[in-house]
Structure 1
């Protein structure tokens, strides 16, 4: 039986970030994924690294730390894979109604350490000339950034390999093995058995099912999102731009369809249009009404988009936790089982600090953010009232 220190199950952006941070600290890592690496939720993401969409609290603290940590992670990647289309373009949140709620939200964020600059409509048009003239107020977030998520996850996994780690796609974990004392001792997979002293559940929206298989069930559910992609255009949208409703949709636990306008360009010239959220299990059927709603709202924010052809649409499942907080840390019920999941649509942005925090906890180092809010045994996660 081949032996490593840690088996990371899931080769998306969060699993890749955990594996990269562990391997950078000298831990022997094996990454397994039942599909191709970075082909699940990560491939269906926009690549957002945001501080603008989170109110004061534990997730915002993690987001601020992770924005800084991403720079450190990118700096230590092998030179040949370091181009992940990093763009510190900044974000712009706009309101077309009463400005009060958006200004109050920005004030609370500033008190928590976020650079949030309230703008008058004329100042917003200087940043984004093609915005709707209906804008009443905007907030500029210079620290919002973007990268290409598949490139980023692939680069992280390349760094793992460069340090002697192993990454295997197309391998399904069938069971988590335990010693006579109940501690994790390995995994049994479709490619054979691998001995280890810890397993990290980084299975994204499938983390709930894997947690049951591993003996430490946590309540993680899939929440689906859809994105429209336009044909390539000359430069037209300079920042990540979204309406003030986006923050409410992110924090909502409603299972019904919710949409809010999110518009941003990519390095290739296409414009990404989102966003939608709905809890419909793993139903991946395309719903035309969702796409129509995204298009309608996007045209309301940027009227010129009404004349732009849509090239394609895609969707993915995001790992939703009932209290909207990631799960990062050891499972107290199963010695050697760790979780890194539940980030929903913020996994790209939070991945860097998630990997660092899990590594710090695994090695007994002082954590760079408070780990307590993300603990596995919190009542909201285990369904305890």
Structure 2
């Protein structure tokens, strides 16, 4: 048996951020994962740290806090995390789309988001290889990017946590009165008065082991990776309809052009969303659709080779807000899950909220919108 102040289940970037801030708060931390560091959704992510795609409300507040925290982390963690404040550019194909984008942008501005309106004839000043004829766009200087797997690894290293990798949690241990007292793995028990569920798309399964329900579902997405190129795409650039896709609850396939360069040279192309369970069947049709949309936005990419593709599963919750904080249905259980495609960006603020809950201190913002029990309120405790 091993003992700690808190056991964090999940070694992705959200679990790593929880470990980092818990460690900074003076707690002893154990992190357990059935696979390697960043072996799930984090390893299949593009590393986006975005405010541009979020409407005013609790998620945007979480994103703005994380924007500040990522800057602080970038000053402390090694440069290998590839933190880059390159900004984002959202473009509209026609005047109708531009009108909607300006209204969205104005509402964001009242919430603290920085942006700059660009007419169509100025877009190529910031992205020279964009297609001609676009109506305009909005530049978001607060958008940034990291290399997500490396960021998770360095957060874990800096946390001082004891890692238990390749060890699947088979039970959540409960004591008298139902209070959580640790987890069981094939290698032995990890004891702690608090357990954090940071298992991403598998968070519903971990919750069920503790006798509670958190309705996380997987939402599949693909990414195309091109051959290394000169920096032909300077920022994260995406079509305005991407925002609607992010907010949609549809289970059907949705694709919208998202294109971004990387410091290493390859261009990353997305984004698709569909709820198909954990089906990993490769869809050539979706890949062709993404490639065509990217080439329409950046014609220079039409003749570029795609050297690989990968897919991942975003942890989706029905109201598009993550579940963060203590679960009163199972005292000692906390959740940090359900961030969908924004987990990398929202990880630091999530970690701060979890650390505040673990130490019974005031958090950096109001966590009530993220309460894990909101989906089953009015039912008896599990």
Q: Note whether the superposition's TM-score is higher than 0.5.
A: yes
Structure 1 residue 241 corresponds to structure 2 residue 237: yes
What value does the CA root-mean-square deviation take over the aligned residues? 1.4
Q: Under a length normalisation based on structure 1, what TM-score does the superposition of the two structures give?
A: 0.96
Q: Would you say the 8 A contact 2:214–2:375 is kept in 1?
A: no
2:362 is matched with 366
Q: Would you say the 8 A contact 2:8–2:198 is kept in 1?
A: yes
Tell me which of 192, 196, 200 is aligned to 2:196.
200
| Shift, 1:380, TM fit | 7.4
| Shift, 1:74, TM fit | 3.2
Unpaired runs of 5+ residues, structure 2, are none
* Alignment of structure 1 residues 81-96 onto 2, 5 Å: 81-96=78-93
Deviations 1:184-215 (A, max 9, x none): 11211111012110100000000011111121
Secondary structure class of the residue paired with 2:91: strand
Structure 1 residue 141 corresponds to structure 2 residue 140: yes
Q: Residues 381, 155 of structure 1: CA spacing in aligned structure 2 closer, same or farther, 3 A cutoff?
A: farther
1:53 is matched with 53
Q: Residues 346, 69 of structure 1: CA spacing in aligned structure 2 closer, same or farther, 3 A cutoff?
A: same
Structure 2: distance between partners of 1:347 and 1:217: 20
Q: Would you say the 8 A contact 2:121–2:136 is kept in 1?
A: no
Does 97-106 or 246-255 show the bigger shift?
97-106
2:351 is matched with 355
1:22 is matched with 22
Structure 2: distance between partners of 1:315 and 1:379: 28
Deviations 1:332-358 (A, max 9, x none): 100100000000000010001000111
Unpaired runs of 5+ residues, structure 1, are none
Structure 1: distance between partners of 2:252 and 2:142: 31
Does 279-288 or 180-189 show the bigger shift?
180-189
Tell me which of 276, 279, 284 is aligned to 1:283.
279
1:10 is matched with 10
**Alignment: residue pair count:** 378
Does 330-339 or 364-373 show the bigger shift?
364-373
Q: Residues 259, 336 of structure 1: CA spacing in aligned structure 2 closer, same or farther, 3 A cutoff?
A: same
Q: Residues 289, 49 of structure 1: CA spacing in aligned structure 2 closer, same or farther, 3 A cutoff?
A: same
Q: Residues 383, 282 of structure 1: CA spacing in aligned structure 2 closer, same or farther, 3 A cutoff?
A: farther
Secondary structure class of the residue paired with 2:81: coil
| Shift, 1:39, TM fit | 1.4
Tell me which of 305, 308, 311 is aligned to 2:304.
308
Secondary structure class of the residue paired with 2:80: coil
Q: Would you say the 8 A contact 1:242–1:261 is kept in 2?
A: yes
Deviations 1:90-136 (A, max 9, x none): 00000012221111111111111100111111221100011011210
